[in-house]
Chain A
């Protein structure tokens, strides 16, 4: 029994050790799972502000928002990074954010600013990609419109993420609604699905399992406009061209504005604001593009040369009138497309 007792004591000691870690000088920041910034920059922020930053990962951006809404009464963190323009209306309605406009937002083009609740930190483009070699094997011309993509000749070539469970899927769906109207979009999704367009739950399934580049059967995948550049950066041999390319069909591309905000009920509001400023600072803006594969929001930041393999689509921001309906539109998709 002695052995068991000593295990219990060790366990108790370890547990109490960790639970006292949350001291007064801790700033808690909740992020989506893809968050990644150079640790050295964070350490510099900690030193400058005499604070310890504790990051917690809240899942996919949509999941994270729901966790924040569920725990509104006792906020999970002081600041949040990773909410985007599609989620902002819901965050606003739930009243989980405290207004703060960072002085550094002056460096962000006016079109990308989203008001006092969310400070735009980066810009991403959700876009269709295709596997060049695999698509060539089909002998088909690239489709030029969404309608063409849903026609029989392009049957079973495309994999996209579900608007209900993936922020990428939701962005793509909103783009189709903007292009085809609500009824037109629902009809398009039904046709495309009947035509063998695969819908997965999340990005990594679509990309790592179903995309033909990694052994799947679909040569067209819903990803980001930056993915071809990432393919080059993460290739084991030096590439002069990306094995994938963007397929910017009208109504298939969506501008995602991700931002940082102060959470209502934060115990460290001053530091939380400083953290928002930090995310907009030059050093951080220059660091994350090759980690999170999004464009910095602040103008004039120098990008790594590998970004030349990515293209910015010529696409306008979704209007607020569309974004405020995003939850209702997703419900519509679930009942009219998924469960039909």
Chain B
């Protein structure tokens, strides 16, 4: 490629990046700076034992979650990519469900299983184990799906060659597949670390004051105590650590190459492989679905046994009716999806075209920054937008976009360079190459990313983020509202709403996947 060509490429790439960058500037950078400028950062509190303990716990639990997810999800992802399993597509699709689960539902589900009167008989409440289980519940699916995508790109003939040359299954996996699939696995582990390091809902609901994370402390200092200088000090520390993790991840990702995901006929697992595959599948299923099943069961069982009262109560509710809740949920999720797919696609293509490391890092910025502090920035910065829908949609798109970028970018990079070049040689115009070669090749990844990003926001419209309005009631705000009132009927209806949300999520993902299970 000539220098002039490269220069033109970069110029066009940065032009594409303008939109997502402007978005990041307006809804991430400026609000954050506004909050930090409001009171300065009182770094002195980092010397206090209490906050040091919070800091240590936050990163310890995130690291441990990432390692556990890697240890459980990595091998399963490998086995799923290697072997044929009946219902594999359905399993991968189901694995999006924990993602969509509002934190409150997850907490209820976990307590139904591991609470003082839990179904398992094991009381883990008020222990760190419950938080870790909760973290795994939310993050293991991400690990499995990203790892699976990574292993799928390993050319099968490489593995077969290694086997032919006498390597055992495990050795082939470790020496051939693992190095090649490392970007996917590293992506998974670092995303799990980032999500857990910034985790807010679960420690807020299950952690009490002993297992509060930095984000919970930032929330308390900001929303309840109005001590912004102290909160800012914690925001800076959190940002520094997550930034380091992100840089490490991008380095790891670059260290290894990729390939195109290959469809192939897979053998059924036998012997040890079968044992490992089915064992891990059952473990992951239990971790990720038992809490959800527990919630669904609670929606049809009351103190006096089996009942339909909660569902009939829910369907008869008129103010606001279930139809409104459902409609709003779909409307907001649709808008967020449209915005995040557009922004994510632009950002991914721009990063691919310019090969800019800076753009790469910036695409992950929303995962590094405290949403609580952004919310305060929005309040002060955008007086006219404060109680407007665009702000709500922007806030959620900000959270969802990185997942689109993370799905599309590896797929673009995995396209062998000779493919678009051949198309150009054969006379295709630049836009034509994109339309007929690059986009079709990345479409499955885009759909997968869209499904993931939709999953992150579908259940989370309860928004401590920005101001909400009653006419914006969604399935999850309906749930929070019921949980805010005493009485068995309210709790039961909340569980019924949660079940409804899960069914809705499952339907939406099936549509996005095109029913082929081509999910990454």
Residue A277 at the B interface, CB < 8 A?
Answer: no
- The answer to whether B484 touches A76, judged by C-beta atoms less than 8 angstroms apart, is no
- The answer to whether A236 touches B223, judged by C-beta atoms less than 8 angstroms apart, is no
Residue A23 at the B interface, CB < 8 A?
Answer: no
Chain A minimum-CB-distance residue to B338: A7
- For B290, what are the chain A residues with a Cβ–Cβ distance below 8 Å? none
- Cα-based distance from A223 to B486 in the complex (angstroms): 9
- For B222, what are the chain A residues with a Cβ–Cβ distance below 8 Å? 66
Which stretch of A99-107, A207-215, A317-325 is in the interface? Answer: A207-215
- The answer to whether B483 touches A63, judged by C-beta atoms less than 8 angstroms apart, is no
Residue A59 at the B interface, CB < 8 A?
Answer: yes
From B204, B224, B383, B435, contact of A66 by CB (8 A): B224
- Cα-based distance from A237 to B50 in the complex (angstroms): 48
Query: A191-216, CB under 8 A of B: which get 1 and which 0?
Result: 00000001111011101110010111
- The answer to whether B379 touches A67, judged by C-beta atoms less than 8 angstroms apart, is yes
From B117, B376, B386, B483, contact of A215 by CB (8 A): B117
- Cα-based distance from A206 to B309 in the complex (angstroms): 24
Chain A CB within 10 Å — which of B123, B487, B488 has the most? B487
From B205, B319, B390, B491, contact of A214 by CB (8 A): B491
Which stretch of A8-16, A110-118, A179-187 is in the interface? Answer: A8-16
Chain A CB within 10 Å — which of B108, B112, B387, B390 has the most? B387
Residue B485 at the A interface, CB < 8 A?
Answer: yes
From B226, B389, B481, contact of A15 by CB (8 A): B389
Query: A55-80, CB under 8 A of B: which get 1 and which 0?
Result: 11111001100110111001010000
- The answer to whether A54 touches B387, judged by C-beta atoms less than 8 angstroms apart, is yes
- The answer to whether A217 touches B116, judged by C-beta atoms less than 8 angstroms apart, is yes
- The answer to whether B116 touches A215, judged by C-beta atoms less than 8 angstroms apart, is yes
- The answer to whether B338 touches A10, judged by C-beta atoms less than 8 angstroms apart, is yes
Chain A CB within 10 Å — which of B48, B107, B209, B339 has the most? B209
- Cα-based distance from A216 to B385 in the complex (angstroms): 41
- The answer to whether B492 touches A71, judged by C-beta atoms less than 8 angstroms apart, is no
- Cα-based distance from A164 to B470 in the complex (angstroms): 26
Query: A230-244, CB under 8 A of B: which get 1 and which 0?
Result: 110111110000000
Chain A minimum-CB-distance residue to B319: A39
- For B115, what are the chain A residues with a Cβ–Cβ distance below 8 Å? 209, 215-217
- Cα-based distance from A192 to B302 in the complex (angstroms): 33
- The answer to whether A231 touches B491, judged by C-beta atoms less than 8 angstroms apart, is no
* A/B pair count, beta carbons within 8 Å: 158
- For B108, what are the chain A residues with a Cβ–Cβ distance below 8 Å? 208-209
- The answer to whether A76 touches B387, judged by C-beta atoms less than 8 angstroms apart, is yes
Residue B281 at the A interface, CB < 8 A?
Answer: no
- The smallest beta-carbon distance between B481 and chain A, in angstroms, is 8
- The answer to whether A70 touches B387, judged by C-beta atoms less than 8 angstroms apart, is no
- Cα-based distance from A242 to B339 in the complex (angstroms): 50
- For B389, what are the chain A residues with a Cβ–Cβ distance below 8 Å? 15, 18-19
- The answer to whether B224 touches A62, judged by C-beta atoms less than 8 angstroms apart, is yes
Say yes or no: A11-B339 contact (C-beta < 8 A), given A208-B483, A216-B116: yes
Residue A332 at the B interface, CB < 8 A?
Answer: no
- The answer to whether B486 touches A19, judged by C-beta atoms less than 8 angstroms apart, is no
- Cα-based distance from A231 to B302 in the complex (angstroms): 13
Count of A interface residues, CB-CB < 8 Å:
66
- For B304, what are the chain A residues with a Cβ–Cβ distance below 8 Å? 237
Residue B467 at the A interface, CB < 8 A?
Answer: yes
Chain B minimum-CB-distance residue to A1: B435
Residue B356 at the A interface, CB < 8 A?
Answer: no
- The answer to whether B223 touches A63, judged by C-beta atoms less than 8 angstroms apart, is yes
- The answer to whether A204 touches B484, judged by C-beta atoms less than 8 angstroms apart, is yes
- The smallest beta-carbon distance between B425 and chain A, in angstroms, is 23
Residue B162 at the A interface, CB < 8 A?
Answer: no
Chain A minimum-CB-distance residue to B302: A236
Residue A334 at the B interface, CB < 8 A?
Answer: yes
From A10, A57, A67, A293, contact of B485 by CB (8 A): A293
Chain A CB within 10 Å — which of B115, B302, B388, B484 has the most? B484
- The answer to whether A66 touches B223, judged by C-beta atoms less than 8 angstroms apart, is yes
- The smallest beta-carbon distance between B279 and chain A, in angstroms, is 31
- The smallest beta-carbon distance between B341 and chain A, in angstroms, is 8
Say yes or no: A19-B388 contact (C-beta < 8 A), given A71-B380, A236-B309: yes
Residue A119 at the B interface, CB < 8 A?
Answer: no
Query: B487-509, CB under 8 A of A: which get 1 and which 0?
Result: 11111100000000000000000
- The answer to whether B483 touches A204, judged by C-beta atoms less than 8 angstroms apart, is yes
From A28, A162, A236, contact of B209 by CB (8 A): A162
Residue A308 at the B interface, CB < 8 A?
Answer: no
Chain B CB within 10 Å — which of A63, A201, A237, A338 has the most? A201
- The answer to whether B468 touches A199, judged by C-beta atoms less than 8 angstroms apart, is no
Residue B345 at the A interface, CB < 8 A?
Answer: yes
Which residues, 302 to 337 on A, are CB-close (under 8 Å) to B? 330-331, 334
- For A200, what are the chain B residues with a Cβ–Cβ distance below 8 Å? 208
- For A28, what are the chain B residues with a Cβ–Cβ distance below 8 Å? 387
- For B50, what are the chain A residues with a Cβ–Cβ distance below 8 Å? 339
- The answer to whether B468 touches A56, judged by C-beta atoms less than 8 angstroms apart, is yes
- The answer to whether A11 touches B335, judged by C-beta atoms less than 8 angstroms apart, is yes
- For A59, what are the chain B residues with a Cβ–Cβ distance below 8 Å? 223, 464
- The answer to whether B484 touches A34, judged by C-beta atoms less than 8 angstroms apart, is yes
- The answer to whether B208 touches A199, judged by C-beta atoms less than 8 angstroms apart, is yes
- The smallest beta-carbon distance between B26 and chain A, in angstroms, is 13
17 contacts between A and B (CB under 8 A): A22-B384, A34-B484, A56-B387, A56-B467, A58-B467, A59-B464, A63-B223, A204-B483, A209-B108, A217-B117, A230-B485, A230-B487, A231-B487, A234-B489, A234-B490, A331-B225, A338-B209
10 interchain residue pairs of minimum CB distance: A234-B487, A74-B383, A217-B116, A236-B309, A234-B489, A18-B389, A230-B486, A339-B50, A56-B387, A15-B390
Additional 18 contacts, C-beta under 8 A, given A1-B435, A8-B338, A236-B307: A4-B345, A11-B338, A15-B393, A19-B390, A33-B481, A39-B319, A66-B224, A76-B386, A201-B205, A204-B480, A205-B205, A208-B483, A230-B486, A233-B487, A234-B490, A236-B488, A330-B225, A331-B225
